[in-house]
Amino acid sequence: MTKLFSIAFAATLLTACTTAPRPTTAPPSTQAAPAVNTVAERYVSAETPQDELDSLATWPTEDGRTWLIASAKSTHRLVVFDADSGERLREVGKEGASPGEFDRPNGLAVYGDQLFVVERDNHRVQVLSLPDFKPVGSFGEKELRSPYGIWLTETEPGELEAYITDSFMYGKKFDEVPPFAELNQRVRRYRVQFDQAGRLRANYGGSFGDVNEDTALRMVESIGGDPVNDRLLIADEDRRHLSTLREYTFSGKYTGRSLPQDSFGAEAEGVALWTCPGGGGYWIAVDQLAPLTIFHLFDRVTLQPRGSFEGKVTAHTDGVALHAAATPSFPGGALFAVHDDKSVTAFDLRDVAKTLSLEQDCTQ
């Protein structure tokens, strides 16, 4: 584990110890969606439409830089950008099923110096070491059918819980939602460990998902978690029913809340947690619109709406990554987003906080 990750995780644990549990009886939000403000992007990277970029993750390098890593579904590789400038640095991998190769890579997550890559068509999660992208191992091949998103949490030093969304579909065009009885497999859980030699070991911990017609997870991809408040937010993208975020506990129990209430104009997509001192913070959820994506913010604890913004360019966003640590170009942190499957954009969190009148201590 890198020193930086250890410090960051220790801060998370400290917050967990000093923060009161979230209210368990708070009703779903009925507030009207806030007006949409404009926050200009700090950069837009060069376009590469052939890549079909999807998900993002960040990693601080040993020389003080920050990489922004993107999955490229159509070219079956990873693309590495300089997070401060948007400069494209390198590509990693090619199409295939061998270690270090990919088939429709999608969700990404970083733990220390390990990069987790969800591969839809290889039906696995592959783990690579950074900065050399050396294959460490993979898991999920026996259970995963059409995996998309991933979220990780450290349960104890060197041991992780990995939550993987599995959006398998039926029919000739793979656009038919499975029978409701099968939707209890929409999120799969794995216990992941690394031994002293860095070898990977993963054990399947079962699946979950509500099976009621009105609240089942029909089409899933993005997932985010908050250990302090025992909360998972899972995006259901099926606009034929209701595309929204649904709230689950870490044990896999649906709480009965769907957030936000009827405020998505398009698909609910990427989700990220912006934590602040004292246990506060904001959830950022993507409304995958064109010509401009709308980013909705909700209070970390109460899930009440706190504001919405759009950029001047960013549209049809899939994945986002929030990097709260200071970098040379973003002293208060940054929100990175995929733009129209072909480039990445960056928002300065100081600009977001100022425009939406948020707590300034989140960017100091």
CB 130 within 8 A of CB 114: yes
Element (H, E) at 84: none
CB 183 within 8 A of CB 252: no
Structure tokens that stand for 74 in this block: 């159509």
The gap from C-alpha 298 to its chain's centroid, in whole angstroms, comes to 16
What is d(CA 265, CA 262) in angstroms, rounded to the nearest whole number? 8
pLDDT tens digit at each of 364 positions of the chain? 443 443 333 333 333 333 333 333 334 444 445 589 999 999 999 999 999 999 999 999 999 999 999 999 999 999 999 999 999 999 999 999 999 999 999 999 999 999 999 999 999 999 999 999 999 999 999 999 999 999 999 998 889 999 999 999 999 999 999 999 999 999 999 999 998 888 899 999 999 999 999 999 999 999 999 999 999 999 999 988 889 999 999 999 999 998 865 678 889 999 999 999 999 999 999 999 889 999 999 999 999 999 999 999 999 999 999 999 999 999 999 999 999 999 999 999 999 999 999 988 888 7
Identify the CA nearest to 205 among candidates 222, 225, 187, 219: 187
Structure tokens that stand for 288 in this block: 């995958």
Identify the CA nearest to 308 among candidates 317, 298, 318, 321: 298
What is d(CA 318, CA 70) in angstroms, rounded to the nearest whole number? 11
For 63, residues 6+ apart whose C-beta sits below 8 A from its C-beta are none
CB 120 within 8 A of CB 137: no
Q: Is 327 helix (H, G, I), strand (E, B) or coil?
A: coil
Residues 172-195: tens digit of each pLDDT: 999 999 999 999 999 999 999 998
* CATH of region 3-17+30-363: 2.120.10.30
DSSP string covering 333-349, please? -EEEEEETTTEEEEEEH
pLDDT at 195: 85
CB 191 within 8 A of CB 202: yes
Structure tokens that stand for 100 in this block: 């270090």
As a whole number of angstroms, the longest Cα–Cα distance in the chain is 53
Q: Are strands 231-236 and 147-156 parallel, antiparallel or unpaired?
A: unpaired
pLDDT at 260: 64
10 Å CB burial of residue 313 (0-12, 13-18, 19+) is middle
pLDDT at 183: 98
Q: Is 150 helix (H, G, I), strand (E, B) or coil?
A: strand
Residues 223-243: tens digit of each pLDDT: 999 999 999 999 999 988 889
What is d(CA 121, CA 105) in angstroms, rounded to the nearest whole number? 8
Structure tokens that stand for 24 in this block: 């368990």
Element (H, E) at 13: helix 3-18
What is d(CA 25, CA 12) in angstroms, rounded to the nearest whole number? 25
CB 225 within 8 A of CB 211: no
- Domain boundaries in the chain? 3-17+30-363
pLDDT at 262: 64
CB 178 within 8 A of CB 213: no
Residue 135 preceded by cis peptide, ω within 30: no
pLDDT at 27: 43
Structure tokens that stand for 222 in this block: 């993005």
